[in-house]
Structure 1
Amino acid sequence: MFLIYLIKVALCWTAFYLLYAGLFRSETFFSANRFYLLGSLVLGALLPLVPEQLFFLQEPELVSYTLQPIVVGVDQIGQAAAGSGNVAGGGFGWMQLLSTVYLLGMVVATSRFAWGIWQLYKLRKNAAIEKAAGYTIYHTGKPHLPFSFFKGLYWSRHFQTDEISRQNILRHEEAHIFQWHSLDVMVAELAAILLWWFPIARLYRKEIKTTHEYLADEHVTRWFSKKEYGRLLLRQSQSGMQVAISNAIFSSQLKRRIIMMTRTKSPRWAQLKYLAALPLMAFLFFSFASSGNEETSAASDAGTTSTDMLEAVADTIPDDNSDPVFKVVETPPTFPGCEDLTDASDRNNCSQKKMMEYVFENVKYPSEAKSKGVEGLVVISFIVEKDGSVSSPKVVRSIDPSLDQEALRVVKNMPLWNPGKQRGKPVRVQYNMPFRFKLDEKDKEALIPAYFPSCAKAQDRKKCSSEVIMKHLIGNLKYPEDAKKEGIQGNVVVKVLIDENGKVEAKEVVKSLNPSCDQAA
């Protein structure tokens, strides 16, 4: 899921950025910092995509086709059968809402980016062109600060300065141009669009641009005095029009730039700090590989993975007949009744609907489980054979024997499926079918334990009834004389039945002690 991917990217960028802010930002290894920021930005977007199969030597367990959970209840059966056409599609839920909000935000962020490009295009279109060594100077008619974008340097005719300052600015912008800083800016802008809601993405963009300024300042101070260059920055620090995606000499990070210009160079040994990125990368890789396995297992157990979300792969698992059973195939099996549909998505949705109709028409809530108040999830695993028949049904998640048997009965009596295919040939395919047995509220109310009339208004009816029973037993139970003479003592357990009228009938002695004691009880 794309939103899950974005969250993983956000976690990666957060970890990488915190490492940068804690260890690297204060160092004067500007080129290394640039490489780290850009590299971690790209790596953070790629790490969640790396499949765990590339790292682990053992073959990972694949997800079987797991159908939508089937809710089984007295009222649910009729209602679900009537609305089973919505099984595959679902309603407008939280995920759809989040997706819509994300897309709207992305549209806004993309529009702002496109607006900056458009402003730049208009400046360039109406500018006078001057060719320089390796780049082009565009003399524009609008007032703005000098800035560069790829191989273009944009200089307003309204911006006037002395020759020494002009040479300082030219050297600064040439550093941006020849070191391809605009390419970094574009990557940072795209990252900020992708995760427009995430502040770390914007911090990345800010740090990348600031590092560019450090590199350009370092280049200028090789030719000119740091003192004079610092004065130039202070004189020209007033704000002016500036295109958002460009590199401009007079940025808002003026204080940090002057501090870094005057700071003593970091010692060589400090470069060893960058090795700290290696264990962080390994940790993130292991974390995502592990979470990938857990998500696979959870999806198989909970029964929420849709067949539309699974890709065809060639991995198989052997069974007793050495005839491979595929967990995922190119063309999954479909329930009968949808053969005329040519679109794969429509056919799968139709298959879900037909299968649900069959289940709702045949499944029944076992009275034994209903009387005991048992409800929960039963998962049945089975194989759709090459001829479409269902084989090897078994319970992989049990709740109660009666519920298990009912789910097994429904699966065993299924009609012939249209078999799954791999590379155009029919193959055996494993499926998981979850049955969620759920009692209606009126059924749950019927499960209220019997109680004495005198306890009807008591807050704890069970406790009150137990006390009444004890008083009744103490007042009426007599120790048999023969058992007393023989020194017999112990427990007698009697099973009783309370009918709908409240009448008590002793059914049987579950645990016997002595005939006379049994009769007394």
Structure 2
Amino acid sequence: MSPTLLLTSLPGPLSWLLQTTVLLTAGWLFYRTALRPERFFHFNRRFLLLTPWLAMLLPVLLGFAGPLLRSWLPPEASSGRWLTSSWLPDVTVQAEATPASALLSGGQWLLGLYAAGVGLLLGRLSWQLLRLWRTTRHWPREPAAGYTLVYTGGRRPVSSFGKLVFWDETANLSAVESQAVLAHEVAHVRQGHTYERLALETARALLWPIPLAHCYPRALELTHEFLADAAALQTTAPLVAASSESYATLLARLALRQLHPSLPLSHSFTHSLTLTRIRMLASTTPRRRWKQWLLLPLSALVLLALGCEQEFDNTPPPPPPPALTPAAPEALAPPPPPPPAFTSAEQMPEYEGGQAQLLADIGKAIKYPAVAKAEKLAGKVFVRFIVDARGTLQAAEVTKGIEHTVQYPGSNGEQQSTRVITPGAQALNEAALNAVRSLPGKWKPGRQDGKAVDVMFTIPVSFAL
């Protein structure tokens, strides 16, 4: 099987996780400092629901952004822009994994651990849904306008899930109090809070390695309660006993009743962050809408930081050290000095199909040598070549290859060292060099001051087991 070419247009798993963590952290800090004390609950609700999903998708979208933007440019503007440096992006060639090496691969262990965590949390969520359905499917029900009333007979506190409102008819409530509690739960149903919580729980499972991902569902639950409280007060406003003070008293009295089992998926009037809800009911602070607009500069800063991080990831590595003078016949001989050539030109040479095609052609041409896999040898080979004024690839050579340092006692008793090339290292060096020499695509030469010129490039080829 041919080796896998790992292109750099998309973020790797660790890079994706880091960028997602940055986005989630920035969003949570913004919510805690600017949004949570305020009473624009609908804005907070949308912010908490969408931020985890955007944090997952934005790193991937940013990975696509560069090539997509270049595709929108006219050929005159985009020509020469994709090769703006004499250093090309790194091409990584990975050896075919055998069953034994796959079991010992640290990256695969991490991916397996991540998948196990996602499966565990999604399985737990599915079990909660199944248990709720099995427990309540035979309870008496009464259809109503936009919801279904399910009578619990004291087996479950007043709560809601989906289109169902679980009603404890044994609760000692007056007619006015019953109307307020029912209006609260109906608000959950009509605003679709259950489905939003399920969506956020799914995002939480996908982002479980990030600690702050587990804070968003709790914050969204509290925001849902604020929205339902506001709807209940508005519905029962014509009633004399339905003031915010009496509603807060009802909250406190029901919260002091006997404890019920945890209801992780239901919106419960009785067990829903009661003290926080009472404080919000008593708040008279005016709504500072200007805080919502702070999200725009914050988003711009975070996106700029992520864009710079991805650009840093794609910058070429520093030039390799000068070739080493061999201390033994087996050592790597330094390459001859290349003919004079530009390292940067006003119009850089163009490879047929673009940079992505260039990297793909090099990756397809390389077969991980069996002798290198037998030696468990990996490393990076730097290949330098010149695209001359006729568009011909010339002077391809290895400027720094894979080699070993061998230490041995010298004649004076001191440790001596020399760099030697094993058969596996030699095979890797030759595989990278031959791949560049055999590139099938044609080159359009670079130009300087309107004249075709020779331009030199260096491309790193990484071999990974």
Equivalents in 1 of 2:353, 2:385: separation in Å?
11
Structure 1 pair 418–412 and aligned structure 2 pair: CA distance change class (3 A): closer
How far apart are residue 207 of structure 1 and its match? 0.8
Equivalents in 2 of 1:409, 1:200: separation in Å?
46
Please give the per-residue CA displacement for 1:239-270, whole angstroms capped at 9, x wherever unaligned: 31343122221234111110100110424xx2
Equivalents in 2 of 1:357, 1:201: separation in Å?
41
Give the alignment of 1:284-363 within 5 angstroms: 284-297=302-315, 324=352, 326-329=354-357, 332-333=360-361, 351-353=367-369, 356=372
Please give the per-residue CA displacement for 1:388-439, whole angstroms capped at 9, x wherever unaligned: x985514566999x999x999946984999866xxxxx66799945589xxx
- Whether contact under 8 Å (2:23, 2:302) holds in the other structure is yes
- Whether contact under 8 Å (1:106, 1:193) holds in the other structure is yes
Corresponding residue number in structure 2 for 1:46 = 57
Corresponding residue number in structure 1 for 2:269 = 249
Corresponding residue number in structure 1 for 2:382 = 379
Corresponding residue number in structure 2 for 1:100 = 112
Structure 1 pair 403–123 and aligned structure 2 pair: CA distance change class (3 A): same
How far apart are residue 219 of structure 1 and its match? 1.6
Q: For 2:368, what is the secondary structure of its paired residue?
A: helix
Q: Between Structure 1 and Structure 2, how many residues are aligned? A: 366
Letter in 2 for 1:181: H
Please say which structure displays the higher CA radius of gyration: 1
How far apart are residue 108 of structure 1 and its match? 1.8
Please give the per-residue CA displacement for 1:90-130, whole angstroms capped at 9, x wherever unaligned: 67243223222222222221121111111222134212221
Q: For 2:15, what is the secondary structure of its paired residue?
A: helix
Matched, 1:216 2:216: no
How far apart are residue 200 of structure 1 and its match? 1.3
Structure 1 pair 353–297 and aligned structure 2 pair: CA distance change class (3 A): same
Structure 1 pair 333–165 and aligned structure 2 pair: CA distance change class (3 A): same
How far apart are residue 172 of structure 1 and its match? 0.2
Percentage of pairs with the same residue? 24
Q: For 2:382, what is the secondary structure of its paired residue?
A: strand
Equivalents in 2 of 1:230, 1:154: separation in Å?
21
Which one of 393, 396, 399 corresponds to residue 396 of structure 2? 393
Please give the per-residue CA displacement for 1:57-111, whole angstroms capped at 9, x wherever unaligned: 8756696562459xxxxxxxxxxxxxx8659976724322322222222222112
Corresponding residue number in structure 1 for 2:212 = 200
Give the alignment of 1:100-499 within 5 angstroms: 100-140=112-152, 143-156=155-168, 159=171, 161-222=173-234, 223=236, 224-237=242-255, 238=257, 239-267=259-287, 270-297=288-315, 324=352, 326-329=354-357, 332-333=360-361, 351-353=367-369, 356=372, 379-381=382-384, 392-394=395-397, 410=430, 414=434, 432=459, 434=461
Q: For 1:35, what is the secondary structure of its paired residue?
A: helix
Equivalents in 2 of 1:248, 1:396: separation in Å?
69
Q: Which has the higher contact order (CA 8 A, sep 6+)?
A: 2
Structure 1 pair 92–409 and aligned structure 2 pair: CA distance change class (3 A): closer
Equivalents in 1 of 2:271, 2:438: separation in Å?
66
- Whether contact under 8 Å (2:383, 2:432) holds in the other structure is no
Corresponding residue number in structure 2 for 1:509 = none
Equivalents in 2 of 1:435, 1:218: separation in Å?
60
Letter in 2 for 1:351: K
Equivalents in 1 of 2:308, 2:231: separation in Å?
45
Letter in 1 for 2:298: L
Q: TM-score normalized by structure 1?
A: 0.59
Structure 1 pair 152–91 and aligned structure 2 pair: CA distance change class (3 A): closer
How large is the Cα RMSD of the aligned pairs? 4.5
Corresponding residue number in structure 2 for 1:480 = none
Please give the per-residue CA displacement for 1:414-465, whole angstroms capped at 9, x wherever unaligned: 4999866xxxxx66799945589xxxxxxxxxxxxxxxxxxxxxxxxxxxxx
How far apart are residue 154 of structure 1 and its match? 2.0
Equivalents in 2 of 1:118, 1:17: separation in Å?
31
Q: For 2:315, what is the secondary structure of its paired residue?
A: helix
Q: TM-score normalized by structure 2?
A: 0.65
- Whether contact under 8 Å (1:67, 1:432) holds in the other structure is no
Matched, 1:12 2:32: no
Equivalents in 2 of 1:31, 1:409: separation in Å?
61
Q: For 1:380, what is the secondary structure of its paired residue?
A: strand
Please give the per-residue CA displacement for 1:134-186, whole angstroms capped at 9, x wherever unaligned: 11112246711122122221224555533222211110011111122123212
Deviates most, 218-227 or 16-25: 218-227
